Amino acid sequence: MAADLPSLKIDVKEVSKRFGRTWIIRQLSAEYTSGTIYGIRGRNGSGKSTLIRMLAGQLSPSRGSLRYTLGDHELPVEDLYAYVSWTGPYFELVEELTVREFLSFHFAMKPLLPGLTVDGVVERIGLQHAARYSLTDCSSGMRQRVLLASALYAATPLLLLDEPTVTLDASSAEWFLEELHACATGRLTFIASNDERDLSACDTISSL
Ligand SMILES: Nc1ncnc2c1ncn2[C@@H]1O[C@H](COP(=O)(O)OP(=O)(O)OP(=O)(O)O)[C@@H](O)[C@H]1O
């Protein structure tokens, strides 16, 4: 399933972010490269999701810069969306769709990792019995598996996972860690979390 994805490097240079008069992130500098799972921890409100949004190119820093290098070319931030898979607690599902319809719709826009099909994804997330359930009728853990699938199985070099196991029970969290290892190879992955299980999957962890 490992994809031959281009390498991605993110250079974060003296990035600060404020909302109104409050500085949330101050003077962050780091270099992030493909092939690594980076953990970001920090107390509630410390700016983990804010950093994830900036890495995704959805939020601009108040000061400093983020530079993206894909292969050996600089990637303009406005083109980054095609190379990112992302999920977090603020992501919403289209309630009217079934599990299978949502995944078909999503993977019509974002290519799947090699060797996967939509039905294969439904199987990997253990929801064969619920493939035709409307998302409204799914439990929070089932919905989280669908959201995680939309990020994990997309063939993108950048994978951003904000609180990936927040609604998962112990066996689902174990499932997530196994799938993460199968899907993160060669990608640049971030996990924002305070859950030790999530952080145990990371190659390196930094605190905000
Ligand atoms: N768009 C916004 N406008 C104003 N303030 C915001 C905005 N987005 C985030 N904040 C504030 O920035 C701070 C950091 O929020 P963020 O969601 O990044 O924290 P977090 O570390 O992910 O928190 P948690 O662990 O609770 O999820 C919070 O005080 C939040 O209220």
111 Cα–ligand 1 center, Å:
31
Q: Is there a contact between 207 and 41 (Cβ–Cβ < 8 Å)?
A: yes
Query: What average pLDDT does this structure show over 31-52?
Result: 96
46 Cα–ligand 1 center, Å:
7
Q: Of the residues 26, 46, 195, which should be mutated to test ligand 1's pocket, given the most ligand atoms within 8 Å of the CB?
A: 46
Give, in order, the Cα–Cα distances in Å from 43 to each of 12, 46, 182, 191: 21, 5, 29, 14
Given this model, what pLDDT does residue 32 score?
Answer: 98
- Find the helix or strand (DSSP H, E) in which 19 lies: strand 8-19
Q: How far is CA 16 from the centre of its chain?
A: 22
50 Cα–ligand 1 center, Å:
6
169 Cα–ligand 1 center, Å:
25
Q: Nearest C-alpha to atom 7 of ligand 1 is from which residue?
A: 19
Tell me the pLDDT tens digit for each residue of 119-139. 999 999 999 999 999 999 999
* Residue labelled with tokens 């598996």: 145
The ipTM of this complex is 0.95
Confidence check: pLDDT of 2 > 70 = no
d(Cα 98, Cα 81) in Å, to the nearest integer? 25
Q: Which two tokens stand for residue 20?
A: 């109104």
pLDDT, mean over the chain:
95
Q: Nearest C-alpha to atom 4 of ligand 1 is from which residue?
A: 19
* Residue labelled with tokens 């145990």: 200
Which residues line ligand 1 at a C-beta cut-off of 6 Å?
Answer: 19, 24, 42, 44-50
Residue 13: CB atoms within 10 Å: 15
* Residue labelled with tokens 């890495």: 55
Q: Which residues contact 139 (CB under 8 A, 6 or more apart)?
A: none
Query: What average pLDDT does this structure show over 26-43?
Result: 97
Strand 84-87 and strand 36-41: pairing? unpaired
Tell me the pLDDT tens digit for each residue of 106-124. 999 999 999 999 999 999 9
34 Cα–ligand 1 center, Å:
27
Three-state DSSP class for residue 174: helix
Q: Which residues contact 69 (CB under 8 A, 6 or more apart)?
A: 8, 9, 10, 11, 75
Q: Nearest C-alpha to atom 13 of ligand 1 is from which residue?
A: 45
- Supply the DSSP symbol for 137: G
Q: Is 119 left (phi over 0), alpha (psi -120 to 50) or beta?
A: alpha
Check: CATH 3.40.1160.10 for 8-207? Answer: no
The band of 145, judged by pLDDT with boundaries at 50, 70 and 90, is very high
Given this model, what pLDDT does residue 100 score?
Answer: 97
Given this model, what pLDDT does residue 1 score?
Answer: 66
pTM of the model: 0.94
